[in-house]
């Protein structure tokens, strides 16, 4: 029976009608039996439509009418033509088909513009896509024309050169005998690969899929066949002209783009990638991470499929190809950007869910949202929504994790000895309330990724030191005091996972801070006490000394604060600097008080007549006779000879002009004398309390 189908030309994006095509039964086609167990990828005969499942708000009356079905049209009555995109994926939902048509119409203008720009660039420089450059990177991010996509992929990833080096290898590999278990695994997954695509319903492309997967298993015995590869190879077969090109592009993808052992039997590389994504999410959105932790739902439950299939069975096909354009040129970081963008764009919906079913619904829906269908906008989002600095910082973790040197030796039938060379970068959350006299405890945890405690329990080595440090290892700011090991477990909704914990006890080296912070401020405080020995009338000198020392210690405190992390609580160095500033400020206030008392009452001279006793003391001092003394004591007038000899008149004058201090002046002097003792004693007491408190606690 004949039927019409829509076909979109892959090169110029023109929608056309093509018929006839062989009919296929509609009975239970594309439905998974209820008794069939869940599978990581699509189930056999289950339609996995690349651009369907989104929420579309199109009024029923606005839908285009179907072609009239009468006998003259050649169409069977009560039959609708299949709705296919240009890659062969079928739409069963009419609203979704309308949405795709609208998107295609709006996207054609972008494709035409990009094709013109690429054509101009290639005509100007035939090696344009063969040499890496910022311009090529910018062009790839904006989209590769479909007519050039397979050529650019092969060139940028190095597959064309690799193919030229091994001319007959592929034909040799596909004629080699496969182990039965690998052959059976590939055969089973052939029918599960894109059952909703019209091309994969034919035996020709399925045979090509089998050949590529079999050749890859021969060339990479450590990988063999891994679920997820069938979807990756399936998409490549839709784009590349030959299955041999698909094979060599797959080799470059596995060995050059993806992390080491990404597709081995244990999926170690993919698991490492998921751990990196979790680390990125902890920094990018700690609120969402804490929410998922409270629910007991690790990200592994929801994003594993993304990384295993490289989003091949997740994103709409047009969006997927744009993502792979960037992946083949920029590397694995693109996968993390895509995953972060999908999650962060739907963080509100995820935060609103309170159970696993709700989280599952959000994850099933987020890959079908309108912003994902609009591939041009989505590619722009993946390079703007995730923070670029955090991406680079956490990708360094994956670069440092080297599974390249892993060796496995079977010691007994049930005991394995695993030796792994790992280079890891950890961060340590420090408590700085005692800085710079602090000690820190930094923790390193090693946990099981996929095995619960019923299957795997981790334990430290019981003989010798489980954690060994390099001899002579030194750090510029810390000294390693001790390393304490222990076991722990992490509880999730799906079970408990074993983990190992190593606590590194560190003590900060204080020598630098003694020389740069403590000793200079002590000297500044002591210098401020010099004003206690200066004359009270030296207003300018004492004021200058006090203000200068105050500004100096304030500047020193600002310099110290600029070199340490900013925290919201008080640190030990803050207490020290604050106290030193208070002592200097108190010395300045002391001078203000002393100067006030000193000027409160002026010097008052004596106006009385000196007594006989005072005159006798002066006589003994200056050798005066009794006559002069008597004359002075009786108030008589001195004789001429007496005046000529400078007699008692001088004595009386001396007694009358000798000044005396008032009560406030004597108080001011006593304050100065007291501060000479009080300030050093109080500062010494503060030092004793400060150093004893922070060095012994």
Class of domain 512-602+664-696: mainly alpha
Say what percent of the chain tops pLDDT 70.
Answer: 72
Q: Which two tokens stand for residue 465?
A: 């030191």
Confidence of residue 693 (pLDDT cuts 50, 70, 90): very high
Tell me which residue has tokens 């600029």.
562
pLDDT at 614: 62
474-505 pLDDT, tens digit each: 888 888 888 999 998 888 767 788 899 999 99
pLDDT at 249: 94
Lowest average pLDDT, out of 234-248, 399-413, 575-589, goes to 399-413
Lowest average pLDDT, out of 473-482, 509-518, 549-558, goes to 473-482
Lowest average pLDDT, out of 222-226, 278-282, 407-411, goes to 407-411
339-371 pLDDT, tens digit each: 999 999 888 999 998 888 888 888 888 777 777
Q: Which residue has the higher pLDDT, 72 or 290?
A: 290
Tell me which residue has tokens 């105050």.
550
84-94 pLDDT, tens digit each: 778 888 766 66
Residues 404-411: contacts with CB within 8 Å, 24+ apart? 404/260, 406/261
pTM of the model: 0.51
153-179 pLDDT, tens digit each: 999 888 999 999 998 899 999 988 888
Residue 684, pLDDT > 70, answer: yes
How far apart are alpha carbons 56 and 93 in whole angstroms?
11
Question: How remote is the C-alpha of 72 from its chain's centroid?
Answer: 66
CA distances from 307 to 217, 248, 274 (A): 20, 21, 8
pLDDT at 297: 86
Burial class (CB in 10 A: 0-12, 13-18, 19+), 621: exposed
Residue 240, pLDDT > 50, answer: yes
pLDDT at 565: 79
CB 335 within 8 A of CB 262: no
Q: What is the CA radius of gyration of the chain?
A: 44
> Would you call the peptide bond into 189 cis, given omega within 30 degrees of 0 as the criterion?
no
pLDDT at 608: 53
Q: Among the residues of 65-177, which ranges form H helices?
A: 94-124, 134-142, 146-157, 159-165, 169-174
- In CATH, the number for domain 260-400 is 1.10.472.80
Question: How high does pLDDT run on average in the chain?
Answer: 76
Confidence of residue 269 (pLDDT cuts 50, 70, 90): low
Secondary structure, 3-state, 632-651 = HHHCCCCCHHHHHCCCHHHH
Residue 448, pLDDT > 80, answer: no
420-443 pLDDT, tens digit each: 666 677 788 888 899 999 999 998
* 112-133 per-residue burial string, b: 16 or more CB within 10 A, e: under 16: eebbeebeeeeeeeeebbeeee
pLDDT at 28: 37
CATH 1.10.8.270 fits 158-257, yes or no: yes
How far apart are alpha carbons 345 and 111 in whole angstroms?
26
Mean pLDDT across the stretch 665-693?
Answer: 92
222-234 pLDDT, tens digit each: 888 888 899 999 9
CB atoms within 10 A of CB 265: 11
Say what percent of the chain tops pLDDT 90.
Answer: 22
Report phi then psi at 445, rounded to 5: -120, 135
Class of domain 426-509: mainly beta
* Max Cα distance, the chain (Å): 164
Residue 12, pLDDT > 90, answer: no
Closest CA to 9 of 126, 156, 115: 115
* 624-636 per-residue burial string, b: 16 or more CB within 10 A, e: under 16: beeebbebbbeee
Residue 642, pLDDT > 50, answer: no
Domain coordinates of the chain in residue numbers? 5-23+43-118, 158-257, 260-400, 426-509, 512-602+664-696, 612-659
Mean pLDDT across the stretch 450-462?
Answer: 81
Residue 582, pLDDT > 60, answer: yes
pLDDT at 492: 76
């Amino acid at each position: 029976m004949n039927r019409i189908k829509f076909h979109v030309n892959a090169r110029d994006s023109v929608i056309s009608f093509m018929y006839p095509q062989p009919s296929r039964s509609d009975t239970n086609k594309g439905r998974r039996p209820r008794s069939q167990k869940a599978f990581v990828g699509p189930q056999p005969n289950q339609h996995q439509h690349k651009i369907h499942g989104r929420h579309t708000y199109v009024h029923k009356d606005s839908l285009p009418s179907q072609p009239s079905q009468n006998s003259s049209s050649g169409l069977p009555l009560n039959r609708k033509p299949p709705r296919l995109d240009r890659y062969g994926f079928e739409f069963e939902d009419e609203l979704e088909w309308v949405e795709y048509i609208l998107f295609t119409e709006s996207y054609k203008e972008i494709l035409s513009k990009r094709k013109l720009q690429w054509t101009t660039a290639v005509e100007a420089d035939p090696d344009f896509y063969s040499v890496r450059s910022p311009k090529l990177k910018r062009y790839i991010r904006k989209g590769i024309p479909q007519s050039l996509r397979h050529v650019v992929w092969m060139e940028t990833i190095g597959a064309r050169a690799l193919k030229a080096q091994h001319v007959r290898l592929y034909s040799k590999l596909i004629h080699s005998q496969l182990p039965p278990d690998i052959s059976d695994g590939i055969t089973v997954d052939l029918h599960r690969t894109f059952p909703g695509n019209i091309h994969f319903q034919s035996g020709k492309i399925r045979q090509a899929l089998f050949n590529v997967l079999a050749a890859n298993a021969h060339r990479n015995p450590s990988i063999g066949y891994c679920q997820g590869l069938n979807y990756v190879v399936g998409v490549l077969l839709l784009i590349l002209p030959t299955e041999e090109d698909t094979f060599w592009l797959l080799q470059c993808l596995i060995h050059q783009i993806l992390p080491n052992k990404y597709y081995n039997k244990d999926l170690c590389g993919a698991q490492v990638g998921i751990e990196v994504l979790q680390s990125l999410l902890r920094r990018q959105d700690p609120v969402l991470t804490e929410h998922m932790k409270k629910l007991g739902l690790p990200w592994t439950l929801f994003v594993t499929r993304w990384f295993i299939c490289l989003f091949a069975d997740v994103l709409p096909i047009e969006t997927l190809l744009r993502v792979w354009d960037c992946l083949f040129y920029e590397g694995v970081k693109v996968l993390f950007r895509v995953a972060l963008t999908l999650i962060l764009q739907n963080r509100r919906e995820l935060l609103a869910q309170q159970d696993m079913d709700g989280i599952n619904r959000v994850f099933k829906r987020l890959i079908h949202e309108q912003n994902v269908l609009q591939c041009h906008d989505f590619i722009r989002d993946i390079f703007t929504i995730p923070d670029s600095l955090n991406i680079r910082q956490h990708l360094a973790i994956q670069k440092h994790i080297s599974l390249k040197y892993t060796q496995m030796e079977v010691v007994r039938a049930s005991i394995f000895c695993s030796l792994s060379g790992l280079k890891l970068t950890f961060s340590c959350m420090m408590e700085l309330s005692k800085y710079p006299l602090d000690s820190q405890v930094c923790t390193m945890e090693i946990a099981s990724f996929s095995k619960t405690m019923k299957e795997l329990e981790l334990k430290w080595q019981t003989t010798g030191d489980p954690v060994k440090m390099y001899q002579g290892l030194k750090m510029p700011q810390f000294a390693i005091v001790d390393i304490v090991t222990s076991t722990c477990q992490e509880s999730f909704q799906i079970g408990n996972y074993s983990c190992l914990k190593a606590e590194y006890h560190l003590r900060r080296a204080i020598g630098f801070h003694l020389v740069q912070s403590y000793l200079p401020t002590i000297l500044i405080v002591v210098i401020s006490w010099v004003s206690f020995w200066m004359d009270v009338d030296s207003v300018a000198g004492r004021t200058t000394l006090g203000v200068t020392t105050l500004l100096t210690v304030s500047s020193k405190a600002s310099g110290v604060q600029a070199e340490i992390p900013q925290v919201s609580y008080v640190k030990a160095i803050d207490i020290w600097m604050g106290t030193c500033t208070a002592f200097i400020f108190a010395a300045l206030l002391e001078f203000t008080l002393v100067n006030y008392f000193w000027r409160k009452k002026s010097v008052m001279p004596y106006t009385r007549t000196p007594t006989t006793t005072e005159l006798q003391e002066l006589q003994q001092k200056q050798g005066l006779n009794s006559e002069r003394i008597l004359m002075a004591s009786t108030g008589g007038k001195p004789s001429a000879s007496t005046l000529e000899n400078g007699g008692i008149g001088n004595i009386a004058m001396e007694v009358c002009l000798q000044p005396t201090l008032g009560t406030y002046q004597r108080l001011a002097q006593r304050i100065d004398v007291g501060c000479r003792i009080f300030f050093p004693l109080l500062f010494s007491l503060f030092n004793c309390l400060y150093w004893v408190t922070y060095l012994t606690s």
